[in-house]
A and B are shown apart, each in its own frame.
Chain A
Amino acid sequence: MGRSYIVDVVVERYFSSVEASGAACTTGLLIGQSSPQRDFVVLSTKTPQRGNESSSGTLDNVDVDWVTEHAKQVSSMLPGGISVLGVFLVVPPEMSKEATNTLRKLVFVVDKYLSKGRLWYDTEEDVTERVALQICSKTRKIICKTFDVKDPKSSAKPAEWKYQSGVSSTWPVVTCSVGINLRLPVSDKSLEDTQTCIREGLQRWAKRITAGTCLFNGKFMAQETELVAGQKKNPKLSQQKLQAQLLLPPEECQPEQTCCVVSQPSASVVIRGQVSCRAYLHSNKPKAGQATEAIKRDILNTVSCRVDMLFDDLFMSQAQGRGAVEKRHSLPLRVFAPVPEAGFCVCDYMFPDESVSAVTEHFQEILDCTIPEESINTGLEVSREEPHKPAHSTGDSCQEDAPAQLHTEAPQDVPKKQRSLEYFVGLAVAGGVALLAAATSLLYLGE
């Protein structure tokens, strides 16, 4: 019994344009939602060109690291419920046999890379089949297979690929805004140590979030309850919106612990503020339990993503030898934008000194998607910062004279943040211990 993929017609059009461009051996990602019975693919994006290379047209030159890095970037732009479902490969007919091997490798490596550093774990209900789509550049024929990424010996299973219009048009959306106030002990020895400590602290916080109870539109529903009861009768129903509330249970008291835990960390990092979260559900009788998982994962993803971005920025500053960094860092704000002709939004992150046009460029580069600047919703996380970063701000960020204005020009004294794909890969490759060892304690001024 193979899986079925219900694919939006925009994906079909996208494939046509990719094939029309004539480039042989194009890789790309397939984006959508999984449900126990079938999967829905609603967006696809080809792997961006790397630097000045032109596509070489052979399978050997498929840069696996580049594809996985792209997948990571794409993943951070997807709200809850939506994820990278697999990989596609456009090949000329003569390479069709080797293509399967390449696809298999890509599917496994992409999944492994995406699972790294996540604050949540797959459950038994999660679908572990990923799609490997092979498209013939001459005949446009599609061969659709799946691999079980949890089984390293998995062989290709045939799957069904069906086109439909408006696949995501009635996807229910769950939203909420979550407050965080964590004080995490960290070691001051190096930036890497600090990052490890913060990751551990976030993992403890993630456990509590995972154990939380979700209410939807103020009501509690059992895991197996269907969220959109009665929708079948009225197919013209507009997208259902659900406001989620997350309640955390009390932490377990250990009866054998009779005394407090004392520690003496050299420093601590306070992560505080709110994050706006969103998750989409499929329209195939989604259950309350699935909605709960989806929104919880989005909460965990958005926080870990922003912290990762902050550290990427800090590592880069350190490598570039930029001067002393302040003790308080604003994490990037999240913005959402509707995907044209679809029923869902994608998201991106902006540091307070970045402009909305950068977001548009980013969407174009990473998702190969043209999203007009005016449709980008920056209102969910309104920046309360002044455009420039003050030198030693220690606490209060609320400055009443800079309300909802978003700055469109970066100040000139701070180098413009480049968040293109190149930047991140450069970091991944160059950021070794050697670089960090050379730059000790540049960041923190002693008390």
Chain B
Amino acid sequence: MYIILSFCKAPSDSTVIFRVRGSLEFSCWLESSNVSQSQTSVSTTFSDLRSKVRDESFVFNLCSSPVFIWPNKDCQASVGSVTASTPCGDLQKHVEVEDRDGGGRKKRKDRKTVSTVINLTSMTEVTVSDEENLSASHLSQKKKQHSVAMILPLDCVISTGADESVGIVCECLIGALCCQLSDMEKVVLQHMKGTAIPVPQPFHFMLPEPNGLVSVVYPANVSDSQLESCRKDLHKKYELPEDRPYFRRANVFQFPDQLFKDGYLRNPHEHLNHPNFEGANLYLVQGVYSYHHYMQDRMDDNGWGCAYRSLQTICSWFQQQGYVERAVPTHKEIQQALVDVGDKPAAFVGSRQWIGSIEVQAVLDQLLKVTSKIMFVSQGSELATKGRELANHFETEGTPVMIGGGVLAHTILGVAWSESSGQIRYLILDPHYTGGEDLQTITEKGWCGWKGPDFWDQQAYYNLCLPQRPKTI
């Protein structure tokens, strides 16, 4: 697997991400027994596709707009105000924005800096001038030749300043597309067996600074577990630690404008204003989780399911960081897991019995092969003294923490802690919410919010389950 160059500048307030998506038809003839002929044929076909990308018939359409640009014709466009020298940030104003929810939801101005993403689709113009006369040619095929066809998914990203010209941006995008085709060629040549050619699929990963957004092509029929050596090479190349995944398919970068198909909210805590008291440092969950709470999935667990929901949030974290491929377990699956390890009798499945941190630890181990540490606190008031330990947890493991005590369970997503003063706030994700996936309500009403030490029942004892991140890539 080889990686394309990332066309990235350091992100700033005026950074714009251009993403072009499309497809090209790959079709060629191979002699299954003749490896060198097959490889030559594949390479020639890719070379033809690169020519197609550079041809005058290759057109960009700015999504949801009447703007069509011919990148290989000096950026001729269908709208008079767009030329090769137009600043690329200006393209944004041609995009027709849909009122997504129809309820006039306001954009939150205090969101963390989100780069503008401008989406383009690649299209092919078929109206031509001066071609040959129409003819039909019949070609017999040799018996040993096979026709091989697939649709190659193109997906290229570049990050640039808003004042860069459209001409330069188009040139970069065409270059990126050609590079992607070359990477696809390498992947295909490496993984093809006879006439079985895997579809090469592009993925974008957001790496820590200074690398930024990087694209990798993986063969579709090879699973993550078989691609470990390739990921090792990538980690070495980008000087990344080898104990956490960055290049699993699940780690793929979620573009700000892309909605999650499953409907769950991701990282609602990112929309909050974080505490800013003197000496405070933030120690937050690392990565992406989805918010699981009462009444979701048409499951009425109001009053008894809070720990189950917290467990689901934790499972979603492991799935989305790429440690596991299994989907987030249902209440029944959680209960069955506990029966399977002998912790509960068979009648437990289908019941509305509560579970606690010990059960959460057991299920994480049974279903996800994840180990967890248990922290016991004899009374709620003591939690205020656990700042260092929690801070360490979020720094090293970065996983969400399930806390159960009194009659409630919650998820802790981080702490704001001052080492000098000992002041502490807890970032809490509350599974007791029974409403819909409305980010505004959830953040404004504190279902995801910062709480002080008085949030806890000062007399009750608490158990915390701290899941440990597996040290693999």
Contacts and interface: CB of A to CB of B under 8 A. Distances in A.
Interface string A391-408: 000110110000000000
Interface string A177-189: 1111001011010
Interface stretch (A55-63, A117-125, A249-257): A249-257
B133 A383 contact: yes
A259 B147 contact: no
B154 to A, nearest CB: 7
Contact of A253 (B23, B121, B142, B146): B23
A246 B24 CA distance: 17
Interface string B169-198: 000000000000000000000000001111
The residue among A176, A260, A271, A274 with the most chain B CB atoms within 10 A of its own CB is A260
Contacts, number: 196
Nearest to B147: A263
A334 to B, nearest CB: 9
Interface string B210-237: 0000000000110000000000000000
A189 to B, nearest CB: 13
Interface residues of B, number: 53
Given A178-B126, A179-B126, A248-B123, A395 B137 contact: yes
Given A213-B61, A447-B142, A260 B125 contact: no
Contacts of A183: 27
Contacts of A331: 133-136
B127 A262 contact: no
Interface of B is mostly: strand
Nearest to B142: A447
A177 B128 CA distance: 6
A259 B59 CA distance: 27
Interface string B79-116: 10000000000000000000000000000000000000
A292 B264 CA distance: 40
A34 to B, nearest CB: 26
Contact-size category for A: 35 or more
Contact of B197 (A259, A265, A303, A382): A259
A64 B23 CA distance: 48
A264 B78 CA distance: 43
B134 A272 contact: yes
Given A261-B148, A447-B140, A248 B124 contact: yes
A273 B134 contact: yes
Contacts of A251: 23, 25, 151
B126 A262 contact: no
A257 to B, nearest CB: 6
B444 to A, nearest CB: 37
Given A183-B27, A212-B126, A259-B199, A220 B78 contact: yes
Nearest to A332: B134
A215 B133 contact: no
Given A219-B78, A250-B21, A274-B130, 8 more contacts: A177-B128, A179-B126, A212-B126, A245-B125, A247-B124, A249-B123, A267-B138, A328-B135
- Rank and list the top 3 A-B pairs by shortest CB-CB distance, nearest first: A273-B134, A258-B220, A274-B131
Interface of A: 176-180, 183, 185-186, 188, 194, 209, 212-213, 215, 218-222, 244-254, 257-275, 303, 306-307, 310, 327-331, 333, 381-385, 394-395, 397-398, 443-444, 446-447
